Structure 1
Amino acid sequence: MNRIFLLVVSLAMVCLTSCQFSENIYINEDGSGKMEFSMDASELMQMAGEKMKEDGTERMDSTIVFKDFLDEKRDSISKLPQEDQDKLKALENFKMHMLMDTETSVMKFDLLTDFKDAGELQDMFQAMNSVGNMQGEGGMKPADASNPFSSLGSNSATDIKYTFNKGVFKRSAKIIDTELHQQAMDSLSSMEMMFATSNYTLNYHFPKPIKSVSNEAALFSEDRKSFTLEVNFMESLKNPALLDVEVILED
């Protein structure tokens, strides 16, 4: 599993410039639910598939349970500074699924977690930042300005909060460290053209029909129990509030 995990992380970081990103949330009647953060790097697979075949990798369909991985690596993790140990422990309740198929040109990564309350969801972004820290020597650090995820999550440049109370769901983001945020944007400026076709999409699903969504660009499903909202990935990094939404469900 260690070899597979390192391959997942390395490919995930390399293929950021060719990814489509989506944030998928499924909320139950009691406020619990599931969140999936997905990266679709199939565009990269179309370009790199032949090379991967030459290296002997044709298809891989694997799921990594971070709780098991952290247990396996507990001795080496115990030697890290306490702050780093705490960040890695944030991954404990997550799973990562990877599907790579050179024949069908598919490459997808999903980071998944269940939650009891929408307020727990900001931990997803801390987890994404922590994944980079598991690459070992020379890997990206959680607050590395060259890591696009350093602009997304809590404990970094941007704070994202979720709430679901009395039929009203809110997602709100704000920049809490303008200096770190600017460093990230400056670092990514040279890759802006490569991010030009990458989008960040919200796919939110609710137990009741939606009465209204604050963002007029949202597209409803036929039963109005879900909606999608798509923005350019780079623009969402520059201005996290582009993905702010307030969703009011029908009584």
Structure 2
Amino acid sequence: MMVKITSIILTLCYCTVLLISCSISEEITFNEEGSLNYSYVIDASEFMKIMPDSMDKNMLKDTLISFKDLLTQKKDSISQLPSESQKKLQALKPLFIKMHQDKKKGEFYVLIYGNFINSTSLNSALSALNSIDNSKNNSSKNMEFLTHTTYNWNGKEFSKKSIKAESLKSDSVAQNILPLFTGGTFKIRYNFPKEIKKVNNSSAVISQDRKSLSIEYDATEYLATPQKTDLKVELVK
């Protein structure tokens, strides 16, 4: 499991060397009963257009990681872990990580997605993903700055709060990955079951039916000062 995740991170690091910009997009569909569908994409398709054939041999091809399947496969070894560690791993069950590359079509992206019963479940999964294998001090901990956000959705109101991840403050590898996003964008789209009454961000573009909003940020600004993407949305009752 960790070999695959770390390989995905290292593949993205290749883009940094070539100063190829990446873009990020996050889309969440909120359901009235409190559940939600989460999608987070890191798109490095520009990298595929100039990637040398020699590098293509060492890159992962299409890869799908299902944490539910992995936890089932590793249940015996997981049962030997402390209860707190087991609980954290179980929070990953709804998550999938997909890496797709097609050099002929110029496509290269990493997708993190899943369906969650509520926002607490999503927060727990992303927190667990951040802490995967941190004790071994390997590159996987640098996933942290991609997911360090807390969401709150109760069926009527939504809020999002982000803070700068510690890895960007102190970890050299994470800091070196930051230039990868120079010139890229961070786009969010949130879909709601009812019309939006008000939103506290003047940059938000509300759809014609008032059930969706979208905002676009500079990617490096988002990673360096993620609190600028904090958001509060109130729906019509």
Runs of 5+ consecutive residues of structure 2 not aligned to the other structure:
none
- The CA deviation at 1:235 is 2.0
Report which stretch shifted further, 72-81 or 36-45.
72-81
| In 2: Cα distance, 1:166 partner to 1:66 partner | 27
Contact map agreement 1:91 1:130 (CA 8 A) in 2: no
Deviation of residue 224 (structure 1)?
2.1
Evaluate the alpha carbon distance shift between residue 224 and residue 9 of structure 1 in structure 2; reply closer, same or farther with a 3 A threshold. farther
- 2:162 partner amino acid: A
Report the counterpart of residue 149 of structure 1 in structure 2: 144
TM-score where L is the length of structure 2: 0.77
Question: How far, CA to CA, are the matches of 2:102 and 2:213 in structure 1?
Answer: 29
In the superposition, the TM-score normalised over structure 1's length comes to: 0.74
Per-residue CA distance 1:174-223 (angstroms, 9 max, x = gap): 46x8x766314x66555554331233222111011212221111122232
Matched, 1:183 2:170: yes
Give deviations 1:55-81, integer Å, cap 9, x for gaps. Answer: 298x95453321112222345556777
Percent sequence identity is: 30
Match of 1:110 in 2: 111
Report the AA paired with residue 25 of structure 1: I
Provide structure 1 residue ranges, at least 5 long, that are not aligned to the other structure.
Answer: 154-159
| Alpha-carbon distance in structure 2 between the residues aligned to 1:138 and 1:241 | 26
Aligned residues between the structures = 231
Question: 1:148 deviation in Å?
Answer: 5.5
1:28 aligns to 2:31 (yes or no): yes
Would the aligned equivalents of 1:195 and 1:234 in 2 still touch at CA under 8 Å?
yes
Alignment of 1:92-107 (within 5 A): 92-107=93-108
Do the aligned residues in 2 keep the contact of 1:49 with 1:105 (CA within 8 Å)? Answer: no
For 2:35, the aligned partner's letter is S
Question: Contact 2:33–2:155 (CA<8 Å) still a contact in 1?
Answer: no
Between the aligned partners of 2:97 and 2:175, the Cα distance in structure 1 is 29
Secondary structure at the residue paired with 1:30? coil
Give the Cα separation in 1 of the matches to 2:178 and 2:64.
31
